Structure 1
Amino acid sequence: MMISEGVTFKLLDEDLLLLPQRAILWPKHKALIIADVHLGKTGHFRKAGIAIPRDLEQNDLAILSDLVAEFNPERIIFLGDLFHSDINADWDWFAMWRQQFPQIIIDLIKGNHDIIADTHYTELNVNLHKQLIVGPFLMLHHPLVETDLQIVKNYVLCGHIHPGINLTGKGRQSLTLPCFAFGERQAILPSFGKFTGRVALSTAKTDKIFAVLKDKVVCV
C-alpha cells in the first residue's frame, strides 16, 4: 500500500517527513515518531456502557502496520499515551500487533494515561522511559513551559496537547484540523489515534504549522 503525500521539514539539519497519518518519519535513524495513540480508549468507554465501534483500535493499528510496510523502520518512538487507561480487551490487539513486528525497537515515553503495569510492556519488549534523547531531540510526553525550555539543551518533541489549527473559509465556515506545531525550541505532534479530540493552539508568527488533511500535509 502506498502512503499518502507527506512534507519534508528540515529541523536542526535533520530531515523529518511529516505524514498525513499524523506521524513523523526520521529517515536518518530509520525511526517513526508518534504521539498519543490512546489504544484501549474505545474499550474504556464500552466498559462504562457507552456504545463505541469496536474496530477503531484495529484501524489505528492497521495504519501503523501500513507505515511499517511502507518505510520499514527499525525503531518506533511513542511520545506517551500509547494506551488510554487500565488494561482491557483492546490490549490483546496491541499484543498481537507487536508479535507481527518483533524486530522493531519500540520506545515509549510514558504519558499521563500510561498507567498499565510496566511488566505488561516489558513482556512485549517495549522500552519504557520518562524522557529520551536521540540526536538533537529531547523526546517527552508533556510540552515544557517557556521557562523550562530556556534551560534544556535539546529541541523538544512532545505530544499530549492533541494540537489543532483553526482555519476559516470565505463563507465564515471554520474547521479545526490536526497539526504539527513547530516552535523555536519545541514541537508538538498531532495525536495519532483517531478517537481523540484536538485543541486549537495559539501560535507565534515564527512558528511553523503544518495542517493534516485526509491525504496530505500542508504548511499554513
Structure 2
Amino acid sequence: MMISAATPFTLLGQNLLLLPQKAIFWEQQKALIIADVHFGKVGHFRKAGIAVPRDMEQSDLATLSDLISEYRPEKLLFLGDLFHSDMNNDWDWFILWRSQFPSLQIILIRGNHDIIADSHYQKLNIELYDELLIGPFLMLHHPLPDIQLQHASGYVFCGHIHPGVSLSGRGRQSITLPCFAFSSKQAVLPSFGKFTGKVAIRSRLTDKIFAVLKDKVIAID
C-alpha cells in the first residue's frame, strides 16, 4: 500500500493535505476531495475503435482504494465528472468498487459530464448535489468568475478545467504539470483521472500554486 508524500496546507483554519494522487484530504471532516475522475472515458474511446489500455480505468479505482485504505476517510467528495457521459461496461467495475466500501459516505457534485440517471447513483448510496456547503467551503464543479465569487456562500472548491502549470528549464524545454490552484476565494483541483488532459492556467500574484509531481506536491514561487 502507498504511503503518500502529502503536502500540508492550512486554509481558513482547516488542515488540508495535498496529495500527489491529485486529491485533497481534509483532516477536520475526514474527507477525501477529488475532481474530474471521468470513469468510463476509456470505454467510450474503445467503443469508438481507439486503442486505449483496458486497465487504465481500473488503475484509477485502485489508486482511489489505496487512498481510502491509507487515510480512512468518512466522506468521499467528487467535484463533478465522476463518470464520463452515458453508461458503458466500465460502470460494472464502478459497482464492484463501490461494494468494497459500503459504509463510506460518497457525495457527487454534478458536473457537465454527469448525465447518467440519478437512480443509478442512488442504488449505490451516492448522494447527489449541484452544490454543497460544508464548513467554510462551497463544493462546486465549475469555477466561478470573480463577480460571482464576491457573493458565494463559502470559499469555493471546484474542478472542471483540469488545471496545469507550465515550468521552463534552462534549455528552453518546458513541461506542463497538473496543479492545485488556490486564489483568495476559490481552489481549483487537478483532474484525478489518468486519461484526462490538463490546461495551463494563468496565475495571479495572489494565487498559491502547487505543482503535482510523480510522488510529491511542491509549491511554485
1:47, CA displacement in angstroms? 1.1
Which runs of no fewer than 5 residues in structure 1 stay unpaired? none
Q: CA RMSD in A?
A: 0.6
Q: How does 1:126-137 map to 2 (within 5 A)?
A: 126-137=126-137
Which runs of no fewer than 5 residues in structure 2 stay unpaired? none
Other-structure match for 1:193:
193
Q: How does 1:50-129 map to 2 (within 5 A)?
A: 50-129=50-129
Q: Distance in 2 between matches of 1:109 and 1:181?
A: 19
1:151, CA displacement in angstroms? 1.0
| TM-score (norm: length of structure 1) | 0.99
1:3, CA displacement in angstroms? 2.3
Q: Distance in 1 between matches of 2:86 and 2:22?
A: 25
- Deviation by residue 1:170-207 (Cα, 9 ceiling, x = unmatched): 11110000000000100000000000000000010110
Q: Name the SS of the counterpart of 1:101 in structure 2.
A: coil
Q: Name the SS of the counterpart of 1:63 in structure 2.
A: helix
1:143, CA displacement in angstroms? 0.2
Q: Distance in 1 between matches of 2:153 and 2:112?
A: 24
| TM-score (norm: length of structure 2) | 0.99
Q: Name the SS of the counterpart of 2:28 in structure 1.
A: helix
Kept after mapping to 2: 8 A contact 1:79/1:108: yes
Other-structure match for 2:184:
184
Q: Distance in 2 between matches of 1:138 and 1:126?
A: 19
Kept after mapping to 1: 8 A contact 2:140/2:157: yes
1:48, CA displacement in angstroms? 1.1
Moved over 6 A (4+): none
Matched, 1:145 2:140: no
Q: Distance in 1 between matches of 2:153 and 2:197?
A: 31
Q: Distance in 2 between matches of 1:45 and 1:181?
A: 29
- Deviation by residue 1:104-136 (Cα, 9 ceiling, x = unmatched): 000000000000111110000000000011000
